[in-house]
Each structure stands twice: as C-alpha cells, then as structure tokens.
A and B are shown apart, each in its own frame.
Chain A
Amino acid sequence: RKEVEQDPGPFNVPEGATVAFNCTYSNSASQSFFWYRQDCRKEPKLLMSVYSSGNEDGRFTAQLNRASQYISLLIRDSKLSDSATYLCVTGGFKTIFGAGTRLFVKA
C-alpha cells in the first residue's frame, strides 16, 4: 500500500465549478501536511499547508482529519488557471508525495 494515496484523476470541470480532492496517508507519525501544485513540465510548488483546524486561502480550503488520516482540498469557483496537478504531501522524517491528481478546468 502506498504511504499517500490520492483520488484518481483526471478531473474535468467547467469554469466556476467547485471541486474537491481527497487524500489518505498511512503513517500515523506524519507530522506535517501540505498540498502542492505542479504545472506541466515544472517543479512542484507549495500551494498551502494543512492544519487540523482547517485553513483557507482565497478560493482554496484545506482540511486535515488526523483520526481518519485524511486530507482534503476544496477549490471553489474554478478558474482556467487552476488546471494543474495537485499533490498531497506528508512530512516528518521523510517527505512523501502522493501520485497527484490532474485537474482540467474548461471554459
């Protein structure tokens, strides 16, 4: 079993839609959690950290459920520029990436 598992993609949504990505992790010792965004042929870049209390950054909301070992990312009012691959990440002794979920936002 992979340490970090994500929703299989791709997600194809129209502009303005709300889309949710889910992720589960197996290592209960994981200490920090993140969502990264990766554009085609570019390196991943931090989108946002994830906290148990939930955190929001504009149209993006991330949530962590430690009991269920589950992380989520919600994107509201999708824009064409949101098209990318979204990677769920756990940190601790080592940093582990999920395989990523492709999002295509269409006009």
Chain B
Amino acid sequence: DVKVTQSSRYLVKRTGEKVFLECVQDMDHENMFWYRQDPGLGLRLIYFSYDVKMKEKGDIPEGYSVSREKKERFSLILESASTNQTSMYLCASSLNGEAFFGQGTRLTVV
C-alpha cells in the first residue's frame, strides 16, 4: 500500500512564526502536491513538484514556499504565519494522475 505521512495531525502556531509542514511518501512517486482545504472552497492547490528540486506554483502560492531536496520528501513552508493560513493542509503523491493523500495537518495560527 502507498503510504503518505504528514509530520503532524494538529499544529498551533503564533502569527509571524515560520512553520514547516513535512510530508514523506514511500512509493517513489515523481509528483507530490500540497493542498489546503477550507469549508466551501474545496481542495486548492498551493504548490506541486514533479521531480527533486523542481517546483511549480499552484492556484494559491502566496505566503508559502516549498522544498523538495529528496524524492520522498516534500515540505511546505509558511515563512511568516498569518491567521488566514489557518486551515487543513493535505499532502499527496501521485502516479498516473491518481493521488494518494496523507492524513492531513490541521494548522491553527493564533
């Protein structure tokens, strides 16, 4: 079975903090994605990566950056957390378009 693991299920951070969300997959997938999910807005793509050190902006990249130093790991970085970044963050890896998700990180910025 494909396993995608996110480092935290719940996280509370203060405004202005730098936040790292980590995601690891064990299936050697080329593509990895970060989404955020908010009520009524569905899943919105923040960034994705199709290879090590390669990244592409998604629909809502502002306020975020990413890092893919190794194929299995894709990190989402909030440089200076703000309250409007309170959300559920979902990482996924994909093969032939089919996405496999981690369990999600519910981030609260206070």
Q: B-contacting residues of A (Cβ < 8 Å)?
A: 31-34, 36, 43-46, 49, 87, 89-100
Contact = CB atoms under 8 A, between A and B. Distances in A.
A95 B50 contact: no
Nearest to B102: A43
Interface in B20-44: 31, 33, 35, 40-43
Contacts of B104: 43
Contacts of A49: 98
B5 to A, nearest CB: 12
Given A43-B90, A44-B43, A96-B45, A91 B50 contact: no
Contacts of B42: 87, 97-100
Interface string B32-69: 01010000111101001010000010100000000000
B103 interface: yes
- Which DSSP category, helix, strand, loop or mixed, fits chain A's interface? strand
Shortest Cβ-Cβ A-B pairs, 6 listed:
A91-B97, A99-B42, A32-B97, A43-B101, A97-B43, A100-B42
Nearest to B88: A41
Interface residues of B, number: 23
B10 to A, nearest CB: 12
A102 to B, nearest CB: 10
Contacts of B33: 94-95
Given A43-B90, A87-B42, A87-B43, A95 B101 contact: no
A72 B45 CA distance: 22
Nearest to A99: B42
A44 B94 contact: no
